[in-house]
Every structure is written in structure tokens, then in C-alpha cells.
Amino acid sequence: MIIEKASEVLEKYQLCDHCLGRLFAKLGKGTNEKRGRAIRFVLNMERSKEGLPSFEKPAECELCHNVFDWIPGLIEKIKEAAGEVEFDTFLVGSRFPDEIREKEKKIWEEFGIETAEPINREFNRELGKAFGRATGKETSKNPDVVFIVEPYSGKIELQINPIYIYGRYRKLVRGIPQTPHPDFEESVASIICRPFSRATGGKCVFKGAGREDVDVRTLGNGRPFILEIKRPKRRKINLEEIAREINASGKVEVLNLRFTTPDEAERVLSTPHRKEYLALVLVEDGVTPKEAEEVAKKLTGLEIYQRTPWRVRKARTDKVRVRRVHHAEAKWRDEKHFELRLVTDGGLYIKELISGDKGRTKPSVSDLLGKPAWCERLDVLNVLDDERPEGSSETR
């Protein structure tokens, strides 16, 4: 069947060994070129036996125009396109003209061939193997770079995949936002991204797992964040050196820097994180140690119904969120102040939990005290990930 089918095709089309073998790519093992050469050899022996002329390999293939012979030159063009871009893994893709893909499909349909593979699939595979041998690089499903080749024009398109970096940051000072803002010279993001951009030659995009207000510090184990470095020219960077440079700012510290994957980055950013806070509460009408302790006792385990705070209503969807206070402790400071240490679900606005936000948060510390209370100072002490205080319920 194979020999008969191949004979029918070669009677009408002048094909190279690649294009002949590719018609039967799903049969047996080995390259299409070897398969085509073997089929041509056996077919010609049969024809010689019958006194018929051989089907010699054509000077130019009627289908691909000998595109596989151009692979060595294309490898040099790929190297030139890569330039100084640093990579260890790669993939090769290609764009073939419509007329070639349509002619190939026409041959399949004309001769009822169901064992073929498309020309671009073989070309990608052969070019990729040759480029790997020439450079010592390896192919990967998640490569550092992708080369898109237009073989007939010689055009090479380079797609550089991002680097993803996980870390945690501490914001040691008040008065800087998490991300750039026109009213501030710098931000947590700019302090962290600056050395990464220099080291990689790429564009650094900062993404925090939640955020804190400008006047709030983040201490303890730090807030998780992800950096996406787009189109990096250099991928082999020293994370410890970069951490030392960031930490020398005295404003922001980074911890646990490591390379990560897009999937893990998504999980880090989409997973709710419990948080531990320390708030200094101001009660102008005065507060006693007993009142402070009672508030903490009532808050522990309490569900809070919080409508989007008034101060962020333009930037957030206006809806009621239900969050839980898992644990609360109070420490009386003076006649008008007490400290409140809280462990809460992520997404609970602590300032409004204390003030009540004109009734938009219920219940609030103000409600529980029976008199107005305000958050005078706030720190994020820890971002707890999957840790749960003893005796607390599951997060939603």
C-alpha cells in the first residue's frame, strides 16, 4: 500500500525525501527524510524489476522548494536575532506561506493520505534539533525564548519569555505607597524593581499579595510579592546581591527571593492571606483597661460585615464583604489609647474596623465601646499564609 501510494504521488509531483516521507509520518519510526529515502529506494527497485524509469530525487522539490536545505543558514540568522539575549532553553516555530500549506493539503486529499504530518511540524522539529546541536541549548515546553521563523523570507521573530521571582517585603517606614503614585517620589515597587531592571535589562512589573496604606508599615515575615521581568536580556542574576542592594535603602527589605513559575505566581497572588496587625487606637472620650480588654474579647471570632470603605469607594467595587476577626488582644496604654493586636481574614480594612466608617462596617470597635474610636497608627506584623491561630475557624 505504501509503495503503491508513493508511486501514484511521484507520478504527478516531484517531491524531495522530506516531503515524500512526511506523507507516511505516522507509520514507523525515524525521520521523514530517512523514511522518504527508504520508500524511494524500494520503489525504484520495484520499478527497475519491471523495466520502468526510477523516481530520482528532484533538483528542486515541487512542494517545499528544498526548504530543509536552508536550515544551516537559518541557524546563523537565529543566532544573530538572539544577539546578547541570555537563554538556556528554547522552542522553534515557523510560518509557512498559505500556498504551500494548501498544496500539501491538496495532495493528502487527492490521494486519500491519512498518515501525514504538516510541513511546519517537521520543519520546527528539524530546525530545533539542528539549532540545539549547534548551540548546546535544549528545547523545553516552557522555554526561555521562542524563535518564530519565516523560512522563505529569512525573517526571525524573537519572543523572550518573562522571568518570575517570588519574595516577601517589609516596608520599614511610613509615607511611601506600595506602587508608583504621582504624589510620591518613590514606592515599594520602584525600590524593589530598580535593581532588577538593571540586572536583567528587562521591564520589571511588581505585583503584591494585597497592599497596605501609605502610612502603614509592613513588618515581621513580610508581604508576599511577585516580580514579572518582561523581555529580560539576562536571566542568570544574583538574587542575594540584589537583595542586599534593596535592603540598603533602609526603607524596604526583601526576604526569601527565588525564581518561580507563572502557575505558582498566580497562586501566590490569588490565595487569601490572613494577616496579623498592631493598631494604636485613639478614644478621645477616654478608655479604661477593662474596656480595652472587653473589646478584644468581643472581637475574637466575630464576623464583620464591611461595605467598601468610603475612602476607597472610587477604586473598589461597592459591596458588602464578610470577614472574620480570628483573634484579638488589647494592651492599655493611657487614658485615651490602647493597642489592639488582631489576626483577621485578608481583605478586612482595619482602620474602618476601628472607626466604623459611619456605619459602613458593623460591628466596629466604636460600636463595641459605645463611643468613637480611631486608628492612630497601624502596622502589618505578619502575613500568615496558611497558618491559623489556635482555635480559629477556617477562612472563607
Residues present in the chain in total: 396
* AA identity, residue 389: P
- C-alpha to C-alpha distance for 194 and 191, rounded to whole angstroms: 6
Q: 367-380 burial, b if ≥16 CB within 10 A, otherwise e?
A: ebbeeebbbeebbb
Pairing of strands 337-344, 320-334: antiparallel
Cell numbers at residue 316, please? 473598589
Catalytic, 213? Answer: yes
Three state DSSP letters for 26-67: CCCCCCHHHHHHHHHHHHHHHHHHCCCCCCCCCCCCCCCCCH
Rg (CA), the chain: 33
* Angle ∠(273,276,278) on CA atoms, nearest 5: 145
C-alpha torsion 278→347→179→377, nearest 10: -20
Active site residue: 144, 213, 379, 385, which one?
213
Q: Is 164 annotated as a binding residue?
A: no
Q: Is 152 annotated as a binding residue?
A: no
Of 377, 323, 99, 327, the closest CA to residue 213 belongs to 377
Which residues belong to the active site?
Answer: 213
Binding site per annotation, positions for substrate: 277, 349
